[in-house]
Amino acid sequence: MNVINLLEKKSFIKYLPFFLIVLSISISSTIFPPRGYAMTIPFIPIICIIFWSLLIGKNLNIFQYFLIGIYTDLLLGTPLGSYLLIFSILRYLSIKVKARFQIDNFFKNIIAAFILIIIFFILSNLFFMIYYGKLIFSKYLILNILATIFLYPALAVVFLWIYKITSIEKYYVEA
Amino acid sequence: MARSVNRTYLLRLTSYAKEKAHGFGTTILIIFSVLLLVMGKINEESLRVFKSYFLDATSDFLSMIGKPVNSLSDGFYKINDLVFLYSQNNNLKLENQSLNKWKDLALKLLAENEELKKLLKTVNKDHEKSITAKVISNSGGSYIKTITINVGTNDGVKLGNPVTNNWGMVGRVVDLGKNASRVLLTVDINSQIPVYFENSLHRAILVGKNSDLLELKFLKKRVVLEDKERLMTSGEGGILPRGLPVGIYSSEINYNKEKMLVIPSENWDKLNTLSVILYDYNKKL
């Protein structure tokens, strides 16, 4: 019985980043944006995705990315496959960044995340411009980018705390 | 010695294989997403069933997790209201005074209108039914402006039904589930509504800009427009009913003559309780 419990706990903790990302996407979609800012709030899904990609890299596997991408598309009402495509490219980039620049401390993580967030918005803008055939640019897009960048450190602290108290790394090493 | 060489070789081989598998997996994921996008672009109907199932499946879950989040934000709004209580009260008193004058005028006009209708023997137009809906979730991004509401086909909602607040139209239903629907807001870049000016009757198309303003397109050149004139749905195309207010034209924001901008419905971003007009366009046609 204890062995089964241990195994269940182990597999749950292994998938904790995935569940946290799904939960934060769901919660962020239920937050009513403050009035007067054209429904602009920080794009929380990308904060979670970048943080966990930079921290656990390939351990957030392709199938989990597939589910996250599809879930985001369906929840936000964007064309099916759009965020899946952007997140896939971003996963590839964040793993490359992690490997090349040895992201091993919090400060480096934040710098890398800032760059990846900007890349994400450039990719999204390019994609939606091509898909809709319209120029998407407003002062609220800039606000969206800035709000996402400035919220990143606050959420990163919370996620890092979860990462440390659950010792997620240990489970991946064993795997 | 030979055994350690073999082991190093095996480790290298494993890491090489993992690297290749990772690259291959990402490529598969990208190809699959492109295929999904192409499929959605070619035949949107094929994905509609899937989307409506998802809307139904997640509506309860989102309402549940949205409760603590919304109560928190409600608390902030209440604190904000308390801070501005005195000034708001003064403003409301002034507004009430002016509304009383309008109420008298409206009652007189209503009586006059009824008398004239009797004289002309006009048939009364049946009013559209509407239902109240609560907002469950929203897209909250810069690229798409949609919300999800807690009413669907079970409540008689149809695709294209207009969604209004107490001022006017804020969007229309684009995805439909049994108990939930997705609403495309008028400010979304994909929203295009045929409209007319309430007094001058000029026709145009009102297009969203993913911003807090709308843009008027296909308006005739050299037309004289009144300041603070309302824009109403013209009902052309048959999907929307005629005469729903969508925005206000203001000369203040139209100093640039190349682009005609319009202010959307008042409080369009106050997403809490809305009404869905159960307009049956098939019946009307």
Least confident window among A67-71, B205-209, B214-218, B265-269: B265-269
Of B29, B59, B135, which to mutate for an interface test with A (greatest number of A Cβ within 10 Å)? B29
Q: Which pLDDT band holds residue A175 (cuts at 50, 70, 90)?
A: very low
Distance CA B93, CA A166 (A): 57
Ramachandran region, residue A119 (left: φ > 0; alpha: ψ -120 to 50; beta: rest)? alpha
| Assigned domain for B134 exists | yes
Residue B80 burial by Cβ neighbours in a 10 Å radius (0-12, 13-18, 19+): exposed
CB within 8 Å: A128 and B143: yes
Residue A98: count of CB within 10 angstroms of its CB: 20
Q: Of B98, B120, B142, which marks where a domain is finished?
A: B120
- The mean predicted confidence, pLDDT, of chain A is 86
Residues B177 and B49 reside in one and the same domain: yes
Q: Assess contact for B204 and B187: CB atoms under 8 A.
A: no
| Assigned domain for B21 exists | no
Pairing of the two strands B229-233 and B169-176:
unpaired
Read off the CATH number of the domain in which B146 is found: 2.40.10.340
Q: Is B69 on the interface with A (CB under 8 A)?
A: yes
Residues B92 and B215 reside in one and the same domain: no
Residues B198 and B224 reside in one and the same domain: yes
Angle at B129 between CA B123 and CA B134, to 5 degrees: 160
Closest chain A CA to residue B25: A62
B135 secondary structure, DSSP code = E
Distance CA A38, CA B142 (A): 9
Q: Of B76, B101, B120, which marks where a domain is finished?
A: B120
Residues B203 and B250 reside in one and the same domain: yes
Q: Which two tokens stand for residue A173?
A: 């090493």
Residue B184, classed as helix, strand or coil, is strand
To which residue do tokens 């094929």 refer? B46
Predicted complex: ipTM over 0.90: no
Distance CA A173, CA B150 (A): 44
- The count of domains in chain B is 3
Read off the CATH number of the domain in which B207 is found: 2.40.10.350
Specify the DSSP element, H or E, that contains A10: helix A2-14
CB within 8 Å: B26 and A81: no
Q: Assess contact for A72 and B141: CB atoms under 8 A.
A: no
- The mean predicted confidence, pLDDT, of chain B is 86
Instruction: Give the number of A-B residue pairs with CB atoms closer than 8 Å.
Output: 154
CA distance A43 to chain B (A): 7
Closest chain A CA to residue B46: A80
Q: Which residues of B touch A29 (CB under 8 A)?
A: 62, 137-140
Q: Which domain holds residue B98?
A: 65-120
Among the partner residues B22, B144, B211, nearest to A78 by beta-carbon distance: B144
Q: Assess contact for A74 and B144: CB atoms under 8 A.
A: no
Q: Which residues of B touch A36 (CB under 8 A)?
A: 212, 269
Identity of the amino acid at A168: I
Residues B59 and B70 reside in one and the same domain: no
Residues B227 and B255 reside in one and the same domain: yes
CB within 8 Å: A38 and B269: yes
Rounded to 10 degrees, what is the CA torsion of B9, A93, A45, B171? -140
Q: How does pLDDT run across B243-271, given as a tens digit for each residue? A: 899 999 988 888 776 788 999 988 888 87
Residues B136 and B275 reside in one and the same domain: yes
| Assigned domain for B25 exists | no
| Assigned domain for B226 exists | yes
Give the per-residue pLDDT at B120: 86
Closest chain A CA to residue B141: A40
Q: How does pLDDT run across A35-56, given as a tens digit for each residue? A: 888 888 899 999 999 999 998 8
Residue B265, classed as helix, strand or coil, is coil
181-240 of B, contacting A, C-beta below 8 A: 182, 184-185, 187, 189-190, 209-212
Closest chain A CA to residue B63: A30
- For the ranges B6-20, B171-185, B252-266, the one whose mean pLDDT is highest: B171-185
